[in-house]
Amino acid sequence: MSRDAVRVMQSLRRTIVAVVIGLGLARAVHAQEQRDSLIQVEVRDGAGLPLPDAKIEVFTLMDGGVFWEWVAVAPSHLPEGINLLRFSHAGYRPSTFSIPLRTGSVVALRVRLEAEGDTAKRQLLEAREVRAVGLAIEGRMKSDVVGHRRILESGVAAEETTGRFSMLLRRARGTELNVVPASGGTYRPLAETAGGARTCQMSVMLNGDRRQVLPFAAFDQLYGTADLEVIEVFPRSASLPAAYQVPKAGCGMIVAWFKNL
């Protein structure tokens, strides 16, 4: 074999080795990403057919940003904590709700989107039910992370001229809350207790932060609806996922998401 032929063969071997190593590294990186992902998402339509091109966005405060905003994201890039997510696809009504993620467990989430034609007559101040099933899996343990909740979505703030959350919840339909008169012409939302009575005093969590939880009366005095993005209402204490529970609460929960907090 000539020297030129030897050189060609050696160069070909080096190229093959480099390709094999590159493919191996790519597979390793992909496998690492799969292992590190805190959530697995499946989006389907009302009939149960998959929507593989569905868009997933997270409501977040970007580095150096002032306002919270919607950012498209791959499920594998979602961080630990309670994340407000929006799932959308052309021809379907977007679905918005939060999901708690935690290192050491993986959430398996299945979301169903409604066709736009099915919701054309729905009023803006009508709270919708989340059509999703989500389980946090840790070893043999499985726990529900969706629970039972109702959502008042983007745009509801414009429907309340007083800027008061108590007035907004009084007018909203479908929240499943017992909204009763309170002092000063305001109203107070009550959740359902474990015994079935709707007399439970609710707390409010701000932007999914467990460190920022306060009684509804204080929340209604301190915050207005102007910068509101979404309200999540957990109207029953028995179906509030563990990630949203706080010490000494023992009741349902409202999670209010603001563009500027």
100 in the same domain as 138: yes
The pTM score is: 0.83
Could you read off the pLDDT of 206-261 as tens digits, one per residue?
999 999 999 999 999 999 999 999 999 999 988 899 999 988 767 899 999 999 98
Alpha-carbon gap, residue 22 to 60, rounded angstroms: 35
Could you read off the pLDDT of 169-215 as tens digits, one per residue?
999 999 999 999 998 889 999 999 888 889 999 999 999 999 999 99
3 in the same domain as 64: no
Within a 13 Å sphere around the CA of 88, how many CA atoms are in the beta-carbon half? 12
Alpha-carbon gap, residue 95 to 27, rounded angstroms: 33
Tally of domains within the chain: 3
Alpha-carbon gap, residue 172 to 123, rounded angstroms: 9
111 in the same domain as 95: yes
55 in the same domain as 155: no
10 Å Cβ neighbour count for 18?
Answer: 10
CATH number of the structural domain spanning residue 168? 2.170.130.10
DSSP tag of 67? S
Within a 13 Å sphere around the CA of 258, how many CA atoms are in the beta-carbon half? 15
222 in the same domain as 251: yes
DSSP tag of 202? P
Domain carrying residue 32: 1-36
Cβ-contact 59, 68 below 8 angstroms: yes
